[in-house]
Amino acid sequence: MIGLIAATAAGAAARDRLAAVWPDRTRVYEGPVPDAVRAAFAECEQLVCFLATGAVVRLVAPLLHDKASDPGVVCVDEGGRFAVSLVGGHGGGANELARAVGEALGAEPVVTTATDAAGLPGLDTLGLPVEGNVAAVSRALLDGEAVALRAEVGWPLPPLPVADEGSYTIRVTDRLVEPGEREAVLRPPTLVVGVGASKGAPVDEVLGLVEDTLREAGLSAASVAELATVDAKAGEEGIVEAARLFGVPLVTYAAGKLARVEVPNPSDAPLAAVGTPSVAEAAALVGGGELLVPKRKSAALPAMVTCAVVRRPGRGRLAVVGLGPGARDLLTPRAKAELRRASVLVGLDQYVDQIRDLLRPGTRVLESGLGAEEERARTAVAEARRGQAVALIGSGDAGVYAMASPALAEASDDIDVVGVPGVTAALAAGAILGAPLGHDHVSISLSDLHTPWEVIERRVRAAAEADIVVTFYNPRSRGRDWQLPKALAILAEHREPATPVGIVRNASRADESSRLTTLAALDPATVDMMTVVTVGNTATREIAGRMVTPRGYRWQEEAR
Ligand code: SAH
């Protein structure tokens, strides 16, 4: 039982909302607050107090006995914005309660005990059905006990702090198993059930065949990802209804596509009826995988339904994540979510350092030094192919002079790829300088490591002639010092010596600096590899110390 205590009208309103969500699990304690807290503390396993944390600390302090038996206490502020796990985070279940209350009231759960703060995912929040002794295994994870992962099928899981050996296990399987005392079973959606049916086949016959087939093959219905059939059967009542009752989507394919799938048991009847020699086997196998159960017919006479079961290969996931220029608040929430979802992180060591605190315990970090780009890309793709959830990180935007291209050049269509955009250096610098990118602009890398200088020079010349604002990336390093002056000289053939130039070093990082100068006055020695250089066009002005490139219409007015 959860005791609920409130003092003010606002608190009581939130309390009543919670009581309405959990009518059977909650009891409202009215009357003077100190008496209510004492009574609830004695009678309930857990308390939710819609009171200030300070007040609750004073009230429960004299009542505390030991953390194994004390009730868990959660405080919710009057605005209903936060659900704070105050006492009994683990033993009293207050951490879990804070999360549940947060979900019920739309409040942010606040949990401060170490393992939870590190963001250990609950086994029931991984997006997969879970069976067995979930509570015991979750507790073992929280308590830092050795938990072994036994993955019988590959599936991209979020990171879990697991070991090779342990007295507790998390099993990842689509087979019917009897979970042990200290075992939780995760059900990845690996099974595709192909179904064929004659016109008017009853739903019971479809459902019965699918269920019997799975059971006899020792496979779990919880791992069925979808039912699959031929387009002509997209409206076949029995199949549609069976998929609905199973709670999985029905996927259909063109007969011509199914006809091209190689199957062990083709036959003439479906060829005549719908134009493919196989429906059940072909529809199950069309996306690839292993045929676990070849075509079977239902026991009814005459049999109207066939089915076949395929285990599809676990599809790995590669997220290409831009971290932004450096500052934590320029890292997008989506990037953060991807970092926490990944079980394998691949990146340059200095970028890994930038976000290491965000990673979940158990994340495998594969970091390497400068260079080694191709190798990082290959590693990331290879891990995804092994069925892992991989995040490949880069500073700024990972697609701008960075890892996305080499990685996607390696990747075939057997993995899912997700891109998360980041704030690239040119934009971070632009915001610091003012509004230099207010009209057409281009980025040019001056690194001739991967690009011949003639090509770079041709592009600089084109930008110069077209009067486009230019941001130079990789502008100057110890071994590459003549390229920047050369590029500026080309621009100077088409722009005034007084054209504004912005130099930004370490944008949004601790030692950020920026300077506004001109094409004629720029000292290349002030530029290094931590810097971007933005050169204005012929309309760019310095206004109140800021670099401003007018938008087209004002520009036209000025020209008139
Ligand atoms: N993917 C990155 C760019 C990688 S190329 C992005 O989108 O920003 C590396 C070059 O980017 C550096 O030589 C420098 O010119 C520029 N750069 C990256 N981060 C920067 C920052 N915080 N401040 C200034 N320049 C930066």
Under the phi-then-psi rule, with left for phi > 0, alpha for psi from -120 to 50, and beta for the rest, what region is 114? alpha
Q: Is the CB of 531 under 6 A from ligand 1?
A: yes
pLDDT at 373: 82
The Cα 380–Cα 410 span in angstroms is 10
Distance from Cα 545 to the centre of ligand 1, integer Å: 23
The Cα 501–Cα 491 span in angstroms is 11
Report pLDDT digits (tens) over 311-332.
987 789 999 999 999 999 999 9
Burial code (b: 16+ CB inside 10 Å, e: under 16) for 85-116 equals bbbbbbebbbbbbbbbbbebbebebbbeeebb
Same structural domain for residues 268 and 348?
no
Residue whose CA lies nearest to ligand 1 atom number 2:
396
Distance from Cα 428 to the centre of ligand 1, integer Å: 9
Same structural domain for residues 437 and 401?
no
List, as one string, the DSSP characters of 541-560: EEETTEEE---HHHHHHHH-
Top pLDDT among 298 and 145 is at: 298
Computed over every residue of the chain, the mean pLDDT equals 92
Residue whose CA lies nearest to ligand 1 atom number 17:
425
Confidence bin at 490 (pLDDT 50/70/90): very high
Same structural domain for residues 418 and 431?
no
| Arithmetic mean of pLDDT, 413-425 | 95
* Mutation to probe ligand 1, out of 393, 427, 473, 512 (largest number of atoms < 8 A from CB): 473
Write out the two tokens for 66.
């030991």
CATH code of the domain containing 407 = 3.40.1010.10
Distance from Cα 401 to the centre of ligand 1, integer Å: 9
- Is residue 127 within 8 Å of residue 44, measured between CB atoms? no
**Nearest alpha carbon to residue 337 among 158, 108, 99:** 158
Q: Which among 379, 407, 423 is the end of a domain?
A: 423
Check pLDDT > 90 for residue 472.
Answer: yes
pLDDT at 499: 98
Same structural domain for residues 430 and 418?
no
Same structural domain for residues 550 and 462?
yes
| Arithmetic mean of pLDDT, 525-544 | 96
Lowest mean pLDDT among 73-87, 428-442, 486-500: 73-87
Check pLDDT > 60 for residue 559.
Answer: no
pLDDT at 553: 61
Q: Give residues with Cβ within 8 angstroms of 20, minimum separation 6.
A: none
Phi, psi of 424 (to 5 degrees): -75, 160
Q: Is the CB of 72 under 6 A from ligand 1?
A: no
Q: Is the CB of 173 under 6 A from ligand 1?
A: no
Which residue bears the tokens 């996607």? 408
Confidence bin at 121 (pLDDT 50/70/90): low
Tell whether 119 is covered by a domain.
Answer: no
Same structural domain for residues 432 and 419?
no
The Cα 353–Cα 361 span in angstroms is 15
Q: Alpha helix (H) ranges present in 267-347?
A: 268-274, 280-285, 333-341
Same structural domain for residues 10 and 102?
yes
Give this prediction's pTM: 0.69
Q: Is the CB of 395 under 6 A from ligand 1?
A: yes
**Nearest alpha carbon to residue 98 among 139, 47, 59:** 47
Distance from Cα 400 to the centre of ligand 1, integer Å: 9
Same structural domain for residues 176 and 197?
no
Check pLDDT > 80 for residue 239.
Answer: yes
Q: Give residues with Cβ within 8 angstroms of 30, minimum separation 6.
A: 36
Q: Is the CB of 529 under 6 A from ligand 1?
A: yes
The Cα 5–Cα 37 span in angstroms is 7
Distance from Cα 45 to the centre of ligand 1, integer Å: 54
Tell whether 78 is covered by a domain.
Answer: yes
Percent of the chain with pLDDT over 90: 77
Q: Is the CB of 535 under 6 A from ligand 1?
A: no
**Nearest alpha carbon to residue 551 among 437, 408, 410, 442:** 437
Please give the tally of structural domains in the chain. Answer: 5
Phi, psi of 115 (to 5 degrees): -65, -35
Q: Which among 311, 336, 358 is the end of a domain?
A: 311
Q: Is the CB of 507 under 6 A from ligand 1?
A: yes
Q: Is the CB of 394 under 6 A from ligand 1?
A: yes
**Nearest alpha carbon to residue 87 among 97, 79, 78:** 97
Lowest mean pLDDT among 18-22, 92-96, 467-471, 550-554: 550-554
Tell whether 173 is covered by a domain.
Answer: yes
**Nearest alpha carbon to residue 215 among 285, 287, 313, 309:** 309
| Arithmetic mean of pLDDT, 143-172 | 85
Same structural domain for residues 56 and 88?
yes
Residue whose CA lies nearest to ligand 1 atom number 16:
473
Same structural domain for residues 306 and 322?
no
| Arithmetic mean of pLDDT, 96-105 | 90
Domain span at residue 387 reads 317-423
Check pLDDT > 80 for residue 47.
Answer: yes
Measured N-to-C along each axis, helices 33-43 and 53-60 cross at an angle, to the nearest 10 degrees, of 60
Tell whether 118 is covered by a domain.
Answer: no
Q: Which among 276, 311, 346 is the end of a domain?
A: 311
Which atom of ligand 1 is closest in space to residue 394's alpha carbon? 1
Same structural domain for residues 430 and 541?
yes
